[in-house]
Chain A
């Protein structure tokens, strides 16, 4: 079974721009969660989608948004990028309790 895939793997953007990241979950998994990893804050939960609905949201500003499609694929969008948004963005899919992570997208904001 194929694992979680994320595209792109690396991205460089300029402050003020917006970015869209994509995540394809493991086949059959309907829940997709997004996390941000930075050296200072560790792994922080952004939001979770299930059956195209956001069920849970972390403590991030409204510039961070997401959506899920009918095939369970998910996208997250960050608008008006700030330097502090530079991070590894991880998505994870789950069927029951365990979450399985993708390789992440490394976003650098200059």
Chain B
């Protein structure tokens, strides 16, 4: 049972345009969501996170939106740059605000390969 899903295996975007990466989850206990960027043979790099008490969080070119009723979150990158090309993972955890705790456990989606063309 995949509790965090990224339904788009890949996304191709032109430099300067917006990249939108999507993620769906099924577990109602999840109350904290994160996005990571990963290059092959390296560890994931933390990008941005959002708590379930918010519906939007911004950090520079990165904005994460959370729609709790739809159990959906998205990462917007504006403007996209060729250096953004990588695999993007969304992850979720239960930190106790929604009735459950999963100490130190992140549940990851399968990842989306983003390619930004010059």
Contacts of B43 in A (CB 8 A): 4, 90, 92, 101-104
| A48 to B110 CA separation, bound complex (whole angstroms) | 21
Q: Tell whether, in the assembled complex, residue A101 and residue B45 are in contact, meaning their CB atoms are under 8 Å apart.
A: yes
Q: Is the interface of A mostly helix, strand, loop or mixed?
A: strand
User: Using a Cβ cutoff of 8 Å, how many contacts connect chains A and B?
Assistant: 65
The smallest C-beta distance from A86 to any residue of chain B, in angstroms, reads: 14
Determine the interface band of chain B, counting residues with CB < 8 A from chain A: 20 to 34
A79 interfacial contact with B, CB 8 Å? no
Q: How far is B42's CA from A102's CA once the two chains are assembled, in angstroms?
A: 8
A-side interface size class: 20 to 34
Task: Name the distance in Å between B27's Cβ and chain A's nearest Cβ.
Answer: 13
A interface with B by C-beta (< 8 Å): 4, 31-33, 35, 42-43, 45, 48-50, 55-56, 58, 88, 90, 92, 94, 97-104, 106
Residue positions of B touching A, CB distance < 8 A: 32, 34, 36, 41-46, 49, 51, 89, 91, 93, 95, 102-111
Could you write out 13 A-B pairs with CB less than 8 Å apart? A42-B111, A43-B108, A45-B105, A45-B107, A48-B105, A50-B104, A55-B104, A56-B104, A90-B44, A94-B104, A97-B49, A98-B34, A104-B42
